[in-house]
């Protein structure tokens, strides 16, 4: 860090101590910079909590109003894929946390490996989501665009689901119409979540390049740490989406 006093000529008079080259001029110490950006990231996550909050509110209200429709519609979701996705995302949170640890210990190889694993797991999550969405498309469960209530007016017409949920009764036509609301909220919530995953994966791709160039293993772990916060937050959203959409309505 011997170049810092040459680069920050005038500032060095005011700050006789050396500071790392990645410290911005308006911060007094690198700890202040780290604390500040960390706090800023947490505040951003608060905005994300409130952003998803609106969707959770809508879901809880509509489920309360149209309980039979929501129960039967949720039976169309494959618990196996949902569980697999949850496991994938939890593992990716683990690899992300390990990535931060590697960055803190300045282990470039470990960091890159962890970031790559997180990246792959993220893609795996999206892949499984694609399979699930495709299945919805095939079965005409895309609200507003390609929707059929036949599976709810007559559960026997959908043998796969009917086998897992033999107690599902045919819904009255007006209640069956509300199953579309369920799928709208399903796609809105998982879609918004998937959008956040896509953004995260894109940033991960960028980070892998920078990590390989050694950008995060010089002691400047802020970016990795703060991105880790974002990634864990997206995981937490899914931790709640999974039971709410897939699990709580399995029985009448």
Question: Which residues, numbered 85-144, are part of the site for another protein (CB under 8 A)?
Answer: 86-87, 90-91, 93-94, 96-98, 101, 104-105, 143-144
Tokens 């495709």 belong to which residue?
Answer: 134
The single residue among 37, 116, 120, 165 that binds another protein, judged by CB under 8 A, is: 37
Report in angstroms how near the CB of residue 110 gets to another protein at its nearest. 10
Q: Return the range that interacts with another protein (CB under 8 A); candidates 83-91, 117-125, 128-136, 207-215.
A: 83-91
Under rule CB under 8 A, residue 43 binds another protein: yes
Smallest distance, another protein to C-beta of residue 56, A: 6
Range in contact with another protein (rule: CB under 8 A) among 1-9, 33-41, 119-127, 202-210: 33-41
Q: Does 1 bind another protein (CB under 8 A)?
A: no
* Alpha-carbon span 233 to 42, nearest angstrom: 10
For position 166 contacting another protein by CB under 8 A, the verdict is no
Token pair listed for 243 = 């039971």
Measured from the CB atom, is 211 or 237 closer to another protein? Answer: 237
Based on CB atoms, which residue is closest to another protein, 214 or 243? 243
- The answer to whether 34 contacts another protein (rule: CB under 8 A) is yes
Spatial distance between the Cα atoms of 39 and 45, rounded to a whole number of angstroms: 10
DSSP secondary structure, 194-225, as one string = HHHHHHHHHHHHHHHHHHHTTTTSSS--HHHH
Minimum distance from CB of 201 to another protein (Å)?
Answer: 18
Cβ burial of 122 (10 Å; 0-12, 13-18, 19+) is buried
Q: 92 or 119, CB closer to another protein?
A: 92
Please tell me whether residue 163 binds another protein under the rule CB under 8 A.
no
Sign of the torsion angle spanned by Cα atoms 129, 134, 140, 143: positive
**Site residues for another protein, window 171-190 (CB under 8 A)?**
174, 177-178, 180-181, 184-185, 188
Q: Which two tokens stand for residue 98?
A: 């390990």
Rounded CA separation 155/137 (Å): 18
Closer CB to another protein, 151 or 244, in the complex = 244
Among 1, 20, 21, 65, binds another protein (CB under 8 A): 65
Burial of 231 from C-beta contacts in 10 A (0-12 / 13-18 / 19+): buried
Which C-beta is closer to another protein: that of 98 or that of 207?
Answer: 98
Give the SS3 label for residue 228. Answer: helix
Given the complex with another protein, which of 37 and 210 has the nearer CB atom? 37
Note whether 147 and 119 are within 8 A (CB).
no
Number of residues that bind another protein (CB under 8 A): 83
Q: At what angle do helices 179-212 and 108-138 cross, to 10 degrees?
A: 160
Residue 108 near residue 116 (C-beta atoms within 8 A): no
């Amino acid at each position: 860090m011997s170049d810092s006093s040459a680069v920050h000529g005038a500032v060095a008079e005011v700050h006789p101590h050396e500071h790392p080259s990645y410290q911005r001029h308006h911060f007094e110490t690198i700890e202040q910079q780290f604390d500040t950006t960390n706090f800023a990231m947490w505040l951003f996550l608060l905005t994300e909590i409130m952003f998803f909050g609106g969707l959770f509110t809508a879901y809880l209200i509509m489920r309360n109003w149209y309980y039979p429709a929501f129960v039967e519609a949720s039976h169309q979701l494959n618990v196996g894929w949902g569980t697999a996705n949850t496991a994938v995302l939890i593992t990716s949170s683990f690899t992300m946390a390990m990535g931060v640890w590697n960055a803190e210990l300045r282990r470039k190889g470990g960091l890159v490996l962890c970031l790559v694993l997180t990246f792959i797991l993220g893609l795996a999550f999206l892949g499984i989501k694609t399979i699930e969405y495709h299945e919805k498309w095939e079965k005409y469960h895309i609200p507003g665009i390609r929707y059929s209530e036949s599976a709810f007016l007559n559960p026997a017409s959908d043998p796969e689901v009917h086998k897992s949920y033999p107690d599902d009764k045919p819904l009255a036509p007006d209640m069956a119409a509300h199953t579309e609301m369920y799928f709208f909220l399903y796609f809105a919530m998982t879609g918004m979540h998937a959008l956040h995953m896509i953004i995260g994966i894109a940033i991960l791709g960028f980070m892998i390049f920078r990590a390989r160039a050694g950008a995060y293993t010089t002691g400047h772990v802020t970016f990795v740490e703060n991105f880790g916060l974002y990634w864990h937050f997206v995981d937490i959203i899914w931790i709640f989406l999974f039971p709410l959409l897939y699990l709580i309505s399995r029985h009448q």
